[in-house]
């Protein structure tokens, strides 16, 4: 697998990462899908264990009025 190249600026860094990830997905389609599935499942599990309701979170964040 190729190594991630360091860019000269932020834009070049982002494009290098996009190209790196696209190559990874192309070269390892099953491995990528398995990793992605584990990540999404862990995020969903974490959301279930979150102590606040959606309304409480938005109220704290200031996006929901009482």
How many domains does the structure of the chain reveal?
Answer: 1
39 domain residue, yes or no: yes
pLDDT of residue 1: 59
In this predicted model, what pLDDT tens digit does every residue of 2-21 receive, in sequence order?
A: 788 788 899 999 999 999 98
- Is 14:25 a contact under the CB 8 Å cutoff? no
Domain that residue 38 falls in: 31-66
52 domain residue, yes or no: yes
In this predicted model, what pLDDT tens digit does every residue of 45-56 receive, in sequence order?
A: 988 888 888 899
Asked if pLDDT for residue 61 goes beyond 80, the answer is yes
At 12, phi and psi to the nearest 5? Answer: -65, -40
In this predicted model, what pLDDT tens digit does every residue of 14-47 receive, in sequence order?
A: 999 999 988 888 888 787 788 889 999 999 998 8
Cβ neighbours for 59, distance < 8 A, ≥ 6 positions apart = 65, 66
- Is 24:1 a contact under the CB 8 Å cutoff? yes
Cβ neighbours for 25, distance < 8 A, ≥ 6 positions apart = 32
57 domain residue, yes or no: yes
At 8, phi and psi to the nearest 5? Answer: -80, -20
């Amino acid at each position: 697998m190729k190594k991630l190249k360091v860019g000269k600026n932020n834009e070049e860094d982002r494009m290098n990462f996009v190209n790196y990830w696209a190559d990874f997905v192309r070269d390892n389609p099953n491995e990528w899908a398995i990793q992605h599935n584990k990540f999404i499942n862990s995020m969903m599990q974490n959301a279930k264990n979150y102590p606040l309701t959606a309304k409480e979170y938005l109220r704290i964040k200031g996006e929901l009025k009482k």
